[in-house]
Amino acid sequence: MKSLLALLSLLFFLCVPLMVLGLIRPSIVVRGRTQTRTRAVQIYGGLALLSLTLGFVVHSGIGVAVGFIGIIALPLMLLVGLIHPPIVLPANRRSRKTVAKIYLPLTLFFIVFGAIVFDPDTRQAETPTAPESTSEPEVTPEPVPVAPEPEPTPEPAPATFQVAVNQATRAAEQSQTAATLESWDDIARTWDEAATSMQEVPATSSYYDRAQEKAIEYQANADIARQKVQSFAPPAPAPEPVFQPEPEPIPEPVFQPEPEPIPEPEPIPQPVAIPEPAPAPESNDTGGYVSGSCAKLRGMGLSNFRPGDPNYTKNRDRDGDGIACES
């Protein structure tokens, strides 16, 4: 059954691409004089619908196949025939009216037939009732008990782990009746030993993680026992007071009047340098113009005449430097 269904599915998925290819290039899938798109659709489209219908029959029964034909296949062919009649009708009957006359009644017939087939009351009436069995009941053989598999033997606890457990048990029992300083001190030491033993469990053992947790727990119990020891210890004696001699009185300072400040001597004024008077310029003022040459005037002790002097003339200032009869 499964192989037939697989074969029909393969036929359907093979015909659909051939039909599409025939619409594009009819000569590839149709030979001879019938190389038309209409012929390709008629051949491969019909094969695809036939394989799909038979697949429904094989997989779900005749009712599903009839419903598929009436609801999907025939309405699809009716729609295609109204658009392009040659695809669903032969050449001598190519008309939309003929398509409607043929496929519309077929569509209605299959829809009604499929509804009757799928009617729940009809299907229930057709279902046969299983006859009552008159044969003797079959004797079911009792099941043979199967021996259970032996559970794996758990790994024995390491020696250090067991020693620590024994020490912790002894410390817990002693703490129930401890009432003295010495007993609580012994309990604290026992808890310390148990914690140390737990820490010595090797890391390769399956008890390692549990041992580490117990080591922390035992150490906390040891701290509680030490607190009990401190509560029994007598209070420390108060330190004796240390005698300290009274300090000698500090003599009061004798008041001494502050010496009067010595007045600072007035600063001696520095002598001011009096500048020497500039030499008076040589006066050539003779009171008027003196005639004669510069050599004559120099012989008279007159020289260096400047503009404004009565004896200054341009003839006497030959070099034009503003001084006539230079000495």
Asked if the structure places residue 133 within a domain, the reply is no
Token pair 């729609």 in the structure block, residue: 79
CB proximity list for 206: less than 8 A, separation 6 or greater? 155
Dihedral of the alpha carbons of 160, 162, 163, 168, in degrees to the nearest 10: 120
Q: Is 248 left (phi over 0), alpha (psi -120 to 50) or beta?
A: beta
Determine the pLDDT at residue 108: 73
For the chain, what percent of residues have pLDDT higher than 70? Answer: 54
Q: Which helix (H) or strand (E) holds 260?
A: none
Structural domain contains residue 247: no
Q: Both 118 and 169 in a single domain?
A: no
How many other C-beta atoms are found inside a 10 Å radius of the C-beta of residue 227? 10
Residue 12: its H or E element = helix 2-24
Greatest mean pLDDT among 46-60, 88-102, 202-216, 312-326: 202-216
Q: Is residue 269 part of a domain?
A: no
Residue type, position 136, single letter? E
Provide the pLDDT confidence category of residue 168 given band limits of 50, 70 and 90: very high
DSSP-derived secondary structure for 244-306: -PPPPPPPPPPP-PPPPPPPPPPPPPPPPPPPPPPPPPPP---SS---S-HHHHHHTT---B-
Which pLDDT score, from 0 to 100, does residue 280 have?
A: 41
Please report whether residue 278 resides in a domain: no
197 and 303 in a single domain? The answer is: no
- Quick one: pLDDT band at residue 302, thresholds 50, 70, 90? confident
Tens of pLDDT, residues 67-121: 666 566 767 766 776 766 666 666 555 566 676 666 667 677 767 766 666 555 5
What's the structural domain count of the chain? 3
Q: Are 188 and 229 in contact (CB under 8 A)?
A: yes
Whether residue 129 is contained in a domain is answered as no
Does 132 fall in a domain? no
How far apart, in whole angstroms, are the C-alpha atoms of residue 173 and residue 184?
Answer: 12
Find the helix packing angle between 181-199 and 208-232, rounded to 10°: 160
Per the CB < 8 A criterion, the answer to whether 15 and 45 are in contact is yes
Domain-located, residue 27: yes
pTM for this predicted structure: 0.29
Q: Give the domain extent around 7.
A: 2-123
Tell me if residue 94 falls in helix, strand or coil: coil
Q: Report pLDDT for 65.
A: 62
**Same structural domain, 226 and 296:** no
- Is the pLDDT reported for residue 182 higher than 60? yes
